[in-house]
Amino acid sequence: MANTACFIIVGRNDIPIYEAEVGSAAKLTPILSIWQREDAAQLHQFILHAALDVVQDLAWTTSAMFLKSVDRFNDLVVSVYVTAGHTRLMLLHDSRNEDGIKSFFQEVHELYIKILLNPLYLPGSRITSSHFDTKVRALARKYL
Amino acid sequence: MVEPVNSSFGKMLLEEVSPVVMVLCTPLVEETFLKNGLSFVETLKPFCNFRNIDVPVRTSSDQLYRLKKFTLRLFYASDIRQPNVEVAKQRLEHVITQAGEKDFQDLKFDPPQITDILSNPESEIAPSWFQYYNKELIRTLSFSDHEAFDHPVACLLVVSSKDEEPINKFVDLFNSNRLPTDGTMDPNILKHYLLVHDNQDATTERTSKVLSEMRSQFGSNECNLLCTNSSKEGNVDHQANPWASFKSSVSADKLGCALTGDDIVEQIKDLMQEFASRHIIPYMEQKVRELNQQISATRKGFRNQIKNLWWRKGKGDGPDVTKGSISNEYASTFEDYDIDKAWKHYAGVQEMMGLAYFISDQSKKESEYCMERAFSTYMKLGKSGFQNALRCGLWWAEMLKARDQHKEAASVYFRICGEEPLHAAVMLEQASYCFVLTKPAMLHKYGFHLVLSGDHYKNCDQVNHAIRTYKSAISVYKSTTWSHIKDHIYFHIGQWYAIVGMHDVAVRNMLKVLDCGYQSKATQEIFLRDFFDIVKKTGMKHEVVGLKLPVINMSSLQVIYEDHRTYASQASALVEESIWQSLEDDIIPSLNSGKSNWLELQSKLLPKKYKESNVCVAGESVKVDLEFKNPLLISTSITSVSLICELTTNSDDLKLVDNEPSSSSLGPEISTEHNQVTTSGFSSFTLSEVDFTLGGGEKNLVRLTVTPSEEGILKIVGVRWELSGSIVGVHYFQSVPVKAKTARGRRKNKLTPTDALKFLVIKSLPRLEGSIDHLPEKLYAGDLRYLVLELRNKSESPIKNLKMKISHPRFLSPGNHEEELTTEFPDCLKKGDEQNIVQHETNRTSSVFAFPKDVSLQGDRSLRWPLWLRAAIPGTISLYYTIYYEMENVSSIMKYRTLRMHYTLQVLPSLQTSFEITPSPSRLQEFLVRMDIVNRANSGCFQIHQLSTVGCRWGISLLQPVDTILPSKSLLAGQALSCFFMIKDCRKSGTEDEEIMSLPPSQTDVKLFTQDDDEKLFDIVSSPLASFHDSERSCQGPSVQVSPNTVDFILISRLAKSSSPSVVPDLPKILTHHSCHNSIRSSSPLSWSLDGPQTIHHDFLTSLCEIKLKMVIRNTSEGLSSVTINTNDCLPDAAAPTSSSGNQSGWRYVPTVTEEMKLTSDVMGSRLGKPPSSMESSPPFIWSGLSSTKVQIQPLSTTEIPLQISVFSPGIYDLSSYKLNWELSEHESATSSGTCQGYPYYLTVLQSE
C-alpha cells in the first residue's frame, strides 16, 4: 500500500466537513524538519488548504469531476474530485495510482450522496456518521 | 504591461549589467580627490550614466544603429575579484536582522485584514528591504570566472601630475600585480590614460609637459587631462549635489566642496562622455565583430573562453545594440558548450540569452525557456552551481514578475529555496507575496508560504520575522475552520511573542488554542503547559472575557430564587411552578379580591418597576446553577468560581432604577471594575466561591449563590473563574436566553433575559424552614409511619396563620396536636391506650389543614407537628405539600409566604388482598368471606396480624383456627393464601329480636396470629387509621352512591423478622391494607333458608311420606318487600333454558359434608357438573300445600312460611324447585323486582326398618 496521507471533504465556503488520516503517515520532507512528527496532521491541512486556490482555478476549466493531481508539495500530491455541488474531495498522497484514486473518489462520492439524502443531515455541516467513516476507511484500504 | 526595458527589473538590468571599467590610480590621485571627501571612482560615478549619448554603432550583422543610453561601472582593480562567501553571508544576515529590528515595533499590532492586504498597491505588499536583499545577494556573485557580467572592458589608468615620473607610473600601474589574478583578464584590454591635475597645489607647466609626454608615449587619443579642485577656498556649495545619492555616510554638504561647476561640467562630464563614446563603444563594437567572425570561422572546438566571455560581455552591456543578432549567435555557441560539457558556461550562456530576450522584448517563451534551462543546468552542478542558480532564479522570477506572471514567479522562488533556512525563509516569503499579486489572489497559497517562511525564520532565530510572517498569515486563516491550521498558527505565534517578551500578546494568541478538544492528549498537554508558562511569565492575572476553558453550557443556566415562594429543598425548587400553583390555589389570598375599589387597588399594587423584575429578599441567597464542561482530555482545576453581580442600593428610591438600564450594556472595562468591587470585600452582597476539578471531558453542574444584604436592585451580570490559579475567565450572561424556572408563567413572556437576572431586593423577612425527620425513601405499600414535621422560623418577627395543603391526602395525614406521642409508635394505635384514641374528625373534607390559630413562630423556636404517612399504592410517588404563612407586623410588599416541600417516595408492592363475600346458605345475615392474599413483594415475608371490618355493622369471626390458615406464620414473597371468615350483619331492625346471634356485636376484629397472645389488637378507629381509611374509601370506589351491602376490610400485617432489611432501609412497623366497598355477591334483597329435617325414616309400605318444612325469609333491604313463593312440581326439562339449576334436581351424589370449601362452591351454584348419568332420575316429590304464597315483609325483618312436600319413595331429594319472586318498593315511586331460584336443599328419606 502506498503512503497515503490525508483525505478531506471540503464543503462550500472552504469548511472541512470530514477529515480522515488514512493509510500510513507520509514521511516528512527535510524542508519541514522543524515540523514535529505529531504536526503531520497540521502540515497536511496546510497543504490541502493551500491547494484550494488551484482547485478553484481548475474546477471551472473542465467538465470532469476528477481533477487528477492539482497541486504538489515536495513529494506529496493533492488529488481532487469536485462534485456538482462544489464539494471538494481532496486526497493528499504520494503515490501515482491514478485509477485507484479515481475509483476511490467515485465511491466516496456515492457515500457522500447517501449522507446528503439523510433528511437529518444539514448540508455543509460536519459529517459525524461513524458508518460513513468506516466505509471511507475501507475504501481507502481497497483502492489506495 | 510595462515595456521590459522600463520595468523595474529592466532598469535594474541595464544598471547592473553594464560594462565595467577597471580603474588603476596612484595614491596621489586618491589624495587629490579625497579633498572633496570622495574617492576617485566615487567622484566619477554620477557621470557614468549617459541618457543621450547618441553614438552610431553597427551590429555584428552590419546593421546600423544609434545607441542612446549607455552606462559604465567603475571599479578599482583591487575590487575586481570574487567576494568572500562567508562575509557575504554575514552581510546578508545582517540585512535581515536589521530589517527585523526595524519591524519590531509593529509586531504588537493586530494582524491586518485580508482585504487591506489586497487593496494595498503592489509596491507596498512586500517589505522594501527585499529589493536590497536581492541586490546584495546578486552582488555576492560578481566577478565570477565563467561569465562576463562584471569583467572590465577597459582599463582607466590615472596618474596625478604631482607624481614623480608620471609616465613610468602609468606603465607600473598596469604591470603591477594589482591586476585581478583569476586568469580571465585580457592583457590586450583597452587602456586609457588619464592625468589628474590639482588646481590647488600643482603647476600647470608641469602638467602640460607630462601630458605631452604621455601623448607621445601612449598615443594622443588614449591620453586625457583632468583638472580638478578649481575652487581655491574649497567651499563651493552645490545646489543639487550629484554625489548625495551615492554616498550618504558623510554629510552631503562637504562632498565635492572643492569642485566648481566648471570642474564638473567641463572636466569630469566631458571626460566620461568622451571616454564612453570615443573609446569604449567603438572598442566593444569591434570586439563583437571580431568574436563573431571567430565563431563562424572555428565553430567547432571553440575553446577560447576568455574571448567568448568578452564576446558575451559585448552583448550584455549593449543591450539595445545587440537586439537582432544575439539569439543566433548564442544559439550557435551553446551547442559548442553542450558538446564540451562545460555546463557552467552553458548555463551562463543560457541565462544571458534569457535576459537578452527579455530586454529586447522578444519571444517570451524563448526567454523563459532559456532561463529554465540555465536554472536547471546550474542546479545540476550541485553545490557549486547553487549560487548561480540562485541569481538566475532571482532574475527569472523578476522577469516573470515584470510580465505579471506572479504565480510562475512564486514557483521559481520556491525552487530557489535551497537548504539554508534563512535564505529559504526569505525566498518563501517573496513567493508568498507573489501569490497575493496574482489575479485573482491566491490567498490560501499566500498563507501557506508565509507559514513555511515563518518556520524557517524561526529556525534561524529571526523571531521577529517569524512573527511578522505568521501575523500576516493569521489574516488569511482567521476565519478558517480548519482546526489544525488555526491551532498551529496561534500556538506558534503565541510562543514566539513570548520569546520576544510580548507576553500579553502571546497570551492573547494562545487563548485561541485552548479549546482544542479534538487534538490528541499530548498536544493538548503541550498547549496548556506552554500557555500557563507564558501566563506565569506575565506575572499578573489576566482576565479574559470569553475564555473557552471550561466551556459553559448556557442552556443549563438556571436561576433559583425565593420571593414569597420559598422552598424547603433543592428538589422542591425544581418542581414545575404549575404544580405548586394548583396546590396553592385554595390557600393563597387571591390578588383579585383586593380590587374592590380603585383607591385600594392603587395602594396595593406594586410600583411598575417592582412588578417587572423578580423579587428576592435581603439575606436570602439567589442560586444560579450552571454547567461547566471540560472540552479537553486533560483534567483541569477550576477555582474561585463565583458570580459577577451588581447591587444598586436604591437610596434614591426608584430613580436609580430608571437609570439602571443604561448601564446594563456593560463594556468589559466597566465590568472589570465591578469585579474589583466584589473581590475587595466592600459589598452589599456576598458571593459563594466554588472550587472543583474537571477531568477530561467531564461536566459539572455548579451551584453559585449570591446573597444580597441590602435593599436595591441586584443584577447577576456573569460568572468568573480562575483557571489553574493563573488566569481569570469571565463570562457575561447578557445575550443568552435564561431559563428562569421560578418566574411566573404569565410574566415569563415579557421578561428579557437580562430582566430574568435582575432582582429587586426587598427588606429581609421571616422565612420558615421546614423538614420532615426520617422520611423513608423506600417503603412497602401499606406501610404506616409516624413522622414529625419540624417547622422553624429563625427571624425575630413572628409568623402566624399557618396552613398546610398536601397533594396526596391518601399518603399523608397531619396529626391533630402538637404534642409528641407518649407511647412508642405502633403500640399507641392499639386498643387500650385510651388517651390516644381520638375519634377522628369527620369534618376534614377539604385537603387544607389549618394549624391552630394560636400557633405562632418566632426567634428560632421550632414547631413539631405529627404527620402520619401511609404508602397507599405501589409506585413512585411525588408528595408535594405547601405551608402558607403570614408575616406579622411587617409592612412589606409581601404579606405572606409559602414554604414548599417536595418528597419522592418509592413504594414497593407488598400484600394484595381481595375479598369475596357470599351469603351463607344456612344462616340468614351471615356471609362467608374469602380473603385472597398475595405477597407481591420481590423479597420480604409478611405476617398478617389482624383483619378488621370497618364500622359497627359487621361482626367478623374465624371459620378455622389460625394455625390451620397459615401454619408457617409468614407469607413468603410470591406466596398466595386464601382464608375464610364469617361476617355477620349486626344491624337490628327495631322490631325484631335476634335470637340466633352468637357473636357479640362489637367483635369487628379478628386476630390472625398465635404468638404473643397478650398482644393487643390495633384499634382501627384511632385517628390515623380511620382518616386513612376515609381517604381510601373515597379513592377506591364511588363515594356518592354507596350500596348498602358493602363491607370495608382493613388487614393489618407486619414484616416478618426474617426478611432481609436491604430492600427497605428501616423496617416498617405495621402495614395496613384497606379494601373498601366489597359488595356481597348476591344482589337480591332477600335471604331465606329452608328449615326442616335432614334425614327422615319412613315406612313407605304404609303410606307416602309427608314432610313439613319451614321457610324463613329475611328482608335485608330498607324497603318494604312483597315476596311470592312459587313451588314447581314438574321436573324441569333439562334443556329448558328457564331453569338454570335444572340439572341439579333429582338424584345426586352427596359427599360427606365436612369441608366448607365444597359447601361454598355448591352455594355458588353453576360450577357443578352433571350428575352421574348412571344414576336414574328419581321419582319426583310433590309440593303439597300451597303452590303459591305471597307475603309482605317489613324492612329488616323475617317471616316464616310453612311448606310441605310429599315423598313417595326413599331417596335423596333436592328441594330447590321453587322460586321467589320479590318486589321491592323502597319509596312510592321506585320499585324493583326480581326472581330468585331456590337453593339446593337435600333431604334424605330412608325406608324405615
Of B270-279, B425-434, B1192-1201, which range is least confident? B270-279
| Residues B475, B115 contacting (CB under 8 angstroms) | no
Cell of B844: 376534614
Strands B1188-1193 and B1242-1247 turn out to be unpaired
Which pLDDT value is given to residue B330?
A: 45
| Residues B726, B536 contacting (CB under 8 angstroms) | yes
Confidence band of B1057 (pLDDT split at 50, 70, 90)? low
Which pLDDT value is given to residue B933?
A: 86
Contacts of A29 in chain B (CB under 8 A): none
Counting every residue, how long is chain B? 1249
| Residues B1096, B1107 contacting (CB under 8 angstroms) | yes
Strand, helix or coil for residue B403? coil
Nearest Cα to Cα of residue B428 among B392, B387, B379, B473: B473
Closest residue, chain B, to A126 (C-alpha): B481
Strands B812-814 and B861-870 turn out to be antiparallel
**pLDDT > 90 fraction of chain B, expressed in percent and rounded:** 0
More confident residue, B446 or B187: B446
Per CB distance under 8 Å, which residues of A are interface residues toward B? 14-16, 30-32, 34-35, 38-39, 41-42, 44-47, 49-54
DSSP classification of residue B441: -
Contacts of A35 in chain B (CB under 8 A): 455
**How far is it, in rounded angstroms, from Cα B153 to Cα B1234?**
148
Contact A46/B448, CB-based, under 8 Å? yes
Which pLDDT value is given to residue B305?
A: 40
Dihedral angle, C-alpha B429, B431, B434, B439, nearest 10 °: -120
Whole-number CA gyration radius for chain A: 14
Nearest Cα to Cα of residue B795 among B764, B774, B827: B764
- SS3 letters across B536-588: HHHCCCEEEECCCCCEEEEEEEEEECCCCEEECCHHHHCCCHHHHHHHHCCCC
Contacts of A31 in chain B (CB under 8 A): 417, 424, 452
Residue A120 CB coordination number (10 Å): 4
Cell of B665: 450594556
| Residues A29, A115 contacting (CB under 8 angstroms) | no
Lookup result for grid cell 485573482: B440
Contact B482/A16, CB-based, under 8 Å? yes
DSSP string, B1040-1066: SS--SSEEEEEEEEEE-TTS-TTSSSS
Confidence band of B668 (pLDDT split at 50, 70, 90)? very low
Of B83-97, B204-218, B1007-1021, which range is least confident? B1007-1021
Contacts of A52 in chain B (CB under 8 A): 444
**How far is it, in rounded angstroms, from Cα B1142 to Cα B1131?**
8
**How far is it, in rounded angstroms, from Cα B66 to Cα B70?**
11
Query: pLDDT tens digits, residue range A9-31?
Result: 988 888 888 888 876 554 444 44
**Beta bridge mates, A80:** A90
Which pLDDT value is given to residue B726?
A: 76
The whole-number average pLDDT for the span B888-916 is: 79
Above 70 in pLDDT, residue A33?
A: no
Contact A41/B455, CB-based, under 8 Å? no
More confident residue, B140 or B1240: B1240
Say whether domain B551-562+620-762 belongs to CATH 2.60.40.10: yes
Contact A46/B419, CB-based, under 8 Å? no
Contact B444/A53, CB-based, under 8 Å? yes
Q: Name every residue whose Cβ is closer than 8 Å to that of residue B686 and which is 6 or more positions away in sequence.
A: B706, B707, B709
Closest residue, chain B, to A30 (C-alpha): B419
Most confident of B381-390, B418-427, B538-547, B713-722: B713-722
The whole-number average pLDDT for the span B871-888 is: 82
**How far is it, in rounded angstroms, from Cα B497 to Cα B490?**
10
**How far is it, in rounded angstroms, from Cα B1090 to Cα B872?**
44
CATH topology of domain B768-823+843-908: Immunoglobulin-like (2.60.40)
| Residues B897, B765 contacting (CB under 8 angstroms) | yes
Q: Name every residue whose Cβ is closer than 8 Å to that of residue B1132 and which is 6 or more positions away in sequence.
A: B1138, B1139, B1142, B1145, B1217
Query: pLDDT tens digits, residue range A80-125?
Result: 999 888 888 988 887 777 888 889 899 999 999 999 998 988 888 8
Most confident of B152-166, B197-211, B668-682, B872-886: B872-886
Above 70 in pLDDT, residue B978?
A: yes
Above 80 in pLDDT, residue B474?
A: yes
Which pLDDT value is given to residue B325?
A: 39
Lookup result for grid cell 384514641: B837
Q: How close is the nearest chain B Cα to the Cα of A110, in Å?
A: 24
| Residues B356, B315 contacting (CB under 8 angstroms) | yes
Q: Name every residue whose Cβ is closer than 8 Å to that of residue A24 and which is 6 or more positions away in sequence.
A: A1, A3, A4
Contact A31/B482, CB-based, under 8 Å? no
ipTM score: 0.88
Contacts of A41 in chain B (CB under 8 A): 484
**pLDDT > 70 fraction of chain B, expressed in percent and rounded:** 62
| Residues B473, B509 contacting (CB under 8 angstroms) | no
**How far is it, in rounded angstroms, from Cα B509 to Cα B514?**
10
Which pLDDT value is given to residue B324?
A: 36
Contacts of A38 in chain B (CB under 8 A): 520, 522-523
Contact B419/A39, CB-based, under 8 Å? no
Strand, helix or coil for residue B73? strand
Strand, helix or coil for residue B44? helix
Which amino acid does the sequence have at B905? Answer: L
Strands B565-567 and B896-908 turn out to be parallel
Which pLDDT value is given to residue B310?
A: 39
Query: pLDDT tens digits, residue range B19-40?
Result: 777 777 777 777 777 777 677 7
- Residue B225 sits at φ, ψ, to 5 deg, of -115, 135
Q: Is B130 left (phi over 0), alpha (psi -120 to 50) or beta?
A: alpha
| Residues B952, B930 contacting (CB under 8 angstroms) | no
Site from A9, A49, A56, A58 to mutate, B interface, most B CB atoms within 10 angstroms:
A49
Counting every residue, how long is chain A? 144
Which one of A15, A31, A49 has the shortest CB-CB distance to B448? A49
Contact A16/B485, CB-based, under 8 Å? no
Contacts of A54 in chain B (CB under 8 A): 442, 445
The architecture in CATH of the region A4-143 reads 2-Layer Sandwich (3.30)
| Residues B1117, B1195 contacting (CB under 8 angstroms) | yes
Confidence band of B323 (pLDDT split at 50, 70, 90)? very low
Query: pLDDT tens digits, residue range B235-267?
Result: 555 555 666 555 544 444 555 555 666 666 666
Which amino acid does the sequence have at B996? Answer: I
- Same CATH fold assignment for domains B768-823+843-908 and B1086-1247: yes
Span between the terminal Cα atoms of chain A, in Å: 7
**How far is it, in rounded angstroms, from Cα B434 to Cα B125?**
9
What CATH class does B1086-1247 carry? mainly beta
Give the Cα-Cα-Cα angle B30, B32, B35 (nearest 5 degrees): 105
Contacts of B481 in chain A (CB under 8 A): 15-16
Which pLDDT value is given to residue A117?
A: 92
Contact A38/B520, CB-based, under 8 Å? yes
DSSP classification of residue B228: E
Q: How close is the nearest chain B Cα to the Cα of A136, in Å?
A: 20
Dihedral angle, C-alpha B605, B607, B613, B615, nearest 10 °: -60
CATH topology of domain B19-82+149-286: Rossmann fold (3.40.50)
Helix, strand, coil percent values for chain B (each to nearest 5): 35, 25, 40
Lookup result for grid cell 418509592: B906
Contact A34/B481, CB-based, under 8 Å? no
More confident residue, B1192 or B323: B1192
**pLDDT > 90 fraction of chain A, expressed in percent and rounded:** 9
Closest residue, chain B, to A35 (C-alpha): B455
Distances, alpha carbon B33 to alpha carbons B242, B306, B370, B1019, in Å: 15, 34, 45, 137
Confidence band of B297 (pLDDT split at 50, 70, 90)? low
Of B168-182, B396-410, B1228-1242, which range is least confident? B168-182
Which one of A14, A34, A52 has the shortest CB-CB distance to B459? A34
Closest residue, chain B, to A47 (C-alpha): B448
Contact A47/B443, CB-based, under 8 Å? no
Question: How high does pLDDT run on average in chain B?
Answer: 70
More confident residue, B102 or A61: A61
**Beta bridge mates, A90:** A8, A80
Domain ranges, ordered by start, for chain B: 19-82+149-286, 551-562+620-762, 768-823+843-908, 911-1078, 1086-1247
Distances, alpha carbon B861 to alpha carbons B566, B770, B794, B797, B890, in Å: 19, 12, 7, 11, 19
Confidence band of B595 (pLDDT split at 50, 70, 90)? very low
Contacts of B419 in chain A (CB under 8 A): 30
| Residues B150, B20 contacting (CB under 8 angstroms) | yes
User: Can the peptide bond before residue B1065 be classed as cis, meaning omega within 30 degrees of 0?
Assistant: no
Domain ranges, ordered by start, for chain A: 4-143
Span between the terminal Cα atoms of chain B, in Å: 153
Indicate the burial class of B912 (C-beta count within 10 angstroms; 0-12, 13-18, 19 or more).
Answer: middle
More confident residue, B620 or B327: B620
The whole-number average pLDDT for the span B607-626 is: 72
**Beta bridge mates, B882:** B805, B900
Buried b (16+ CB within 10 A) or exposed e, B759-768: bbbbebbbbb
Which one of B444, B445, B481 has the shortest CB-CB distance to A16? B481
Of B182-191, B879-888, B960-969, which range is least confident? B182-191
Confidence band of B378 (pLDDT split at 50, 70, 90)? confident
Q: How close is the nearest chain A Cα to the Cα of B743, in Å?
A: 34
* DSSP H stretches of helix in B838-926: none
Nearest Cα to Cα of residue B309 among B344, B357, B277: B344
Which pLDDT value is given to residue A29?
A: 44
Helical (H) or strand (E) element with B1214? strand B1211-1214
Contacts of B424 in chain A (CB under 8 A): 31
